[in-house]
Each structure stands twice: as C-alpha cells, then as structure tokens.
Structure 1
Amino acid sequence: MKFSFSKWLKRLVYLSIFVFISSNFVLYNHAYYFTHFVDKDLPKVTTATLDNKSLMDKIKLGIYGVEIPKPRNKTLPDSTYQAVTLGSQPQLHAWMLLTTQTPKGVMILFHGYSVSKSSLLERAKVLRKLGYHTFLVDARGHGDSEGFQTSIGYHEAQDVYTAYQYIRRYYEDLPISFLGVSMGAVSILKAVHDYQLNAEALILECPFRSLSDAVYNRFENMKIPTFILPQLLLFWGGIQNNMDFKAHNSLTYAQKVTIPTLIIYGKKDPKVKQQEVDDIFNALVSEEKKLTILEKSGHDNIMQDDVAGWTKAVWSFLD
C-alpha cells in the first residue's frame, strides 16, 4: 500500500480539531460547575467516593464536571442574634451578633468558597469576647444569600462593599474591621482596592495570590496536567462569570492597602502555597502588618486545627 502523506496529514488535522473541541467542551463544563452551585442535596465528592463509583460514572464526571450543592447554613448561633437582609441583585443574608462588652467596633466576617457564614461562628465567639460586634455575611450564591453563582472573590468584592455600607449606616459611631477566609480574604482585598474602604483593621486567612494560582494548585493537587488546561478553564470561567480572571490578583489589590493587616497562614495548607502568602504580605503598603504561620493548621480548618494559636495571633494583633 502506497503511503499518502496528504491523507495522514488530513487525518492529523481532523484529530487535532476533535481534541481541541472536545477538551474545550469538557473544560467549559468543569468551569461552569465550579462556579455554579446546584440546588440539590448531594454528598461531597472525595477521592474515597470516587473510588467507589463505576467506570461509567467516573467518565461522566470527567466529561460533565462535578455538581456542587449550594452550601447551606446547617448550624445557627447559640446566642442571641439578628438576621439581616441587605443589598439587591443579589440580595445578601447576614447575622449580627453583639458583644456583651463595651464595643470596640464591628468586625465584618466573610467565609471561603463553598461554605457559609455558619463556618465563622467560632471566630465570632472569640471576637465578641474581645469586644467586637460581629457581622457574619453569606457571600452571593452561598448560604441564605441569593443566587447559585460565585466568581471566587471577583464580584464578591461588591458584597463586601454592601456589608460595609450597611454597618456604616447603622453603626456609624463604631470603627469597622474585616475578617476573611480564603476567597473571603481576597474579596476584602479587592473591595479595599476598588472602593477605598476606610477600615480599622484587616484579618486575612490564607488568601490566594491570584485566581490563576488557585486553579493551578487545584490541578496539581488532583494530579491533572497543568499544560494549557488551567488556562482554558480560566478562559471559560471568565466568560461565564463576566470577569477578567487575569486581573483577579491579590498582589495588585495589596498595593492599595494601607490599613493595618494580619495575615494568618496554615503551614499544612494544600491549596495555597506559603510563597503566595509571603508575596501578598510583601506587597501590602501598610506600615502595620503582621504575618502569622500556624504550624499545625491546614486550609479549610485553619482555626479549628489550632484554636489557641489562632486566638493568640488575633488577640495580640487587635489588642
């Protein structure tokens, strides 16, 4: 049989087109379900649960992406609180828990990705003992707030500003501070950058350096090749969520932060590298800044992993 170079070249072109289209189809789906929660009661997908799934189920998850249920508040405060609705498009939900001491100020708290304000209740207890009213906010798409969509801190900066305006209106005589976890920390940094918020202090737990870094780290943790694929995922996520993913960068935001800032990082964090946090800390222009590394802590449970270390860092900073 005579070899036909043009014939094989044509097949190679067709194969390349197929691979390009199919890979973009898969990444479009994954970008969508990463930023769009579903209104279903689904178990969390872990490595263990994946191992128990059939080959066909694994293939479906690989092609269409993993549906993530909208995070709900399954725990209520164990003390008196006020439920607050604020903002519009989207409408946000929050809890106000007052300190029993003479108030030093109001601390506005924002949670991380795919959790809700109930995850902040233990932090709020410590802060109220320190003399702060605490305002726990569900970011858009999370908890009791409106919607099912998240932009991993990009549009959530508007939620930070909405919460700030609310507290400024109803507690005008008290200074305002912020505490944010991961996505919440980056949301706060962006809000300070975008809206020039006048705050007394910032407490930022494990902020990621950029959205690109966060996606690359996720690919590495899942042992997925990081050549081109993360960029395509970010590209489609940017289109779906109307955001400039390249501009979503904590280093840029930090260069406008003159507010006293404490950054807390867990040494065992698998999602954010210490170099990222070091870079953000160095980029802050605040003359009062502190970086605390908790040796026993990870990412998702940074406070719970070392309550004493976290409390000591926060108390010494605010005191």
Structure 2
Amino acid sequence: MKKRIIWISCGVVLLIMISLLAAGNYFYNVAINRSHEAVDLHGGGESVAAAGLLSEEEHQAKLEEVMKWTEQQTFDIVEIESVDGLKLKARFLKNEHSTGKAVILAHGYKGNSEQMPGITKYYYELGYDILKPDARGHGLSEGEYIGYGWHERKDYVQWAGFLVDQKEEEAIFLHGFSMGAATVLMASGENLPVEVKGIIADSGYTSVIEELSHQLKFLYHLPAFPVIQVTSVITNLRAGYTFSEASALESVKKNKLPLFIIHGDKDDLVPTEMAQRIFDMATSKKDLWIVSGAGHTEAYTIAEEVYQERLKAFLNDALEQ
C-alpha cells in the first residue's frame, strides 16, 4: 500500500512537471518566439475616448494628411550588426533642414519601423533627423526571439553610436512606445554616447515578469506562479535572458539623463501604476504625465497638441542641460 502511494505521488509530480514544461514551451512560442502573427493582448484595443475624439471624417482626413506626408519622404534603409551577430535594420530620414539633432523611435511588441507616422512627422517639423529601427525579431531585422527590451537595450546603444559615427549627430533622444518605451528605459541604464540627451517613455512597463504576469492573468485566467517562472527558465535556455532580470525599474536607477514618462490613465495593457513606480524609482531629472482618458499608447491621439507642447518643452530643456 505504501509503495503504491509513493508510485502514485511520483506519477502526479511527473505529470505536473510535464504539464508545466508543456505550458512553458507553449507560452514561449506564443509570447517570445518570433512570428508574423498579431497577438490579441488584453487592453490593446482602442478606448472609447479615443474612438469618440474625432468624427470619422475628421479622423480620416488627419490620417490621410499624415500618410500623404509619409509617402513623400525618402527613408533610407540602414544596418548595423548587434553584439551577438544579428543584422539589424532601420529606416533613416534625413531632415531637409537638419540641425544635428536626431531621435530614435522605438516601436511596440510585434510592431515595426513603418509605424509611428504622426510622431515621426512632428519630430521632422522640429528639425530632427529620424531613425526608426526594426527591433530584433521584428520587421526587416534578424532574430528568432523577442527580448521585450532587455537585449534590445544594447541594440539601441549601438544605434545611438551609429548616429554619432555615421550621421554625425550632435544631440540624440530615445523615444519609445509600449515595449519600445521599456526598451529605451532599459537602455537608459547603459553606457550611452554623450550625445544622447534624454529619454521619452510612452506607456512602458516596469519589468517583463510583471507585464507577462498581468497578461497571463487576463488572457488565460491563470496565476503567474509557476507558469511564468517555468517560461522564464525556458526563455533563458532558448533566448538567453530571464524575465526577472529584464527590468526597467532597475535600469532607471542608473540613468542620469532627463526622463519624460507618459502614460494613459485608462491603460489596461500596461497598468498605469507601473508608470508611477518607474517615475518613483528614477533618480535623474524627471517628469511624469498621466493623460486623462488615454488607453495604451493613446496619449498622442487623445491630447495631440498638449503632447507636442510638453514634448517640445522637454526636448528644449534637456538640450540646455
């Protein structure tokens, strides 16, 4: 009888381990492994406020204006090699009236460098050259996994160096959205070129483990432990990083550059409280703007004029430091 209980117990433990490994591999393939399929994340839809901000005609007219301008621009495809041997590509737009200033725009999860047309146009109007990389595992860049900003942070250090060495830029800003925001926050703790003058993070998360735990809860109604931990181990084996080490919170402790954090108060994809915690952890000169009525990365849509005014003020102030 005792042996039978032991065998049954061992069988149950083995079954649990197999199930956890299967779940970990499944979530790795869904969330980390490169694929061209869009992922329907919790909180990723358009908010009521954004949808009702403009009439359909006004929205279409504004979109057509931005897209017409975008189509008239000539973006060069540029390339660097990452520290681990990946060919990374980006779109570069030289301003007709270049002033030696540039911005690196970082797109979100499963996004690409063709996105962010509105903010691209605005930076151009301010006289900035614009670099829009495809993050590793996205778009034209190589890579078989998504690093959620952790491995990408070193890529963006290299992109900043590229702008200094190849394009002779004298002042550079990093501006990211969602995963791109987490990327520039993580990059802020690295040894960036002195030409980098500031960081703008729109809708960034505190850490990979917290963001994926948040998504797991709402998408699959599962507790984070132990699925996230098992997936993290698998990610470490297959992609070379763990969810716990990929932390914007830890990175901003080391950042010495001016920091502008933007977040919507209706963000369900990346909880708004994460912005406050990042702000509280940061030790450099910093500003936090919580945008009323904005969902995930909707601040520019909800409050375009104020966004532009506050962004311009931040840029100018940082340049004077």
> What is the TM-score with the length of structure 2 in the denominator?
0.81
Aligned counterpart, 1:253: 251
**Amino acid in the other structure paired with 1:12:** S
**Amino acid in the other structure paired with 2:265:** K
Question: Secondary structure in 2 aligned to 1:178?
Answer: strand
Q: 1:264 aligns with which of 262, 265, 272?
A: 262
Question: Secondary structure in 1 aligned to 2:124?
Answer: helix
Change (3 A) 1:160 1:212: same
> What is the TM-score with the length of structure 1 in the denominator?
0.81
Aligned counterpart, 1:60: none
The answer to whether the aligner puts 1:121 opposite 2:96 as a matched pair is no
Aligned counterpart, 1:85: 78
Q: Could you tell me how far 1:217 is from its partner in structure 2?
A: 0.8
**Amino acid in the other structure paired with 1:85:** V
Distance in 2 of aligned mates of 1:281 and 1:246: 19
- State the structure with bigger RCO (CA 8 A, min sep 6), 1 or 2: 2
Change (3 A) 1:221 1:98: same
Contact 2:201/2:262 (<8 A) preserved: yes
Contact 1:82/1:95 (<8 A) preserved: yes
Contact 1:214/1:272 (<8 A) preserved: yes
Q: Deviations over 1:213-242 (max 9, x none)?
A: 111111122122223222222222222111
Aligned counterpart, 2:27: 30
**Amino acid in the other structure paired with 1:260:** P
Q: Could you tell me how far 1:14 is from its partner in structure 2?
A: 0.6
The answer to whether the aligner puts 1:19 opposite 2:8 as a matched pair is no
Question: Secondary structure in 1 aligned to 2:132?
Answer: strand
Q: Could you tell me how far 1:26 is from its partner in structure 2?
A: 2.1
Contact 2:215/2:269 (<8 A) preserved: yes
Contact 1:86/1:162 (<8 A) preserved: no
Q: Deviations over 1:120-173 (max 9, x none)?
A: 221111111122111111111111112332111111112202211110013325
Q: Deviations over 1:168-206 (max 9, x none)?
A: 013325211110112222222332323243211211112
Change (3 A) 1:125 1:139: same
Structure 2 residue ranges without an equivalent (≥5): 43-66, 317-321
1:208-247 to 2 correspondences below 5 Å: 208-222=205-219, 223-247=221-245
Aligned residues: 287
Change (3 A) 1:217 1:38: same
Q: Could you tell me how far 1:37 is from its partner in structure 2?
A: 1.9
Q: Could you tell me how far 1:27 is from its partner in structure 2?
A: 1.4
1:1-319 to 2 correspondences below 5 Å: 4=1, 6-38=3-35, 42=37, 77-88=70-81, 89-101=85-97, 103=99, 105-198=101-194, 199-222=196-219, 223-286=221-284, 288-319=285-316
Distance in 2 of aligned mates of 1:123 and 1:313: 13
Structure 1 residue ranges without an equivalent (≥5): 48-73
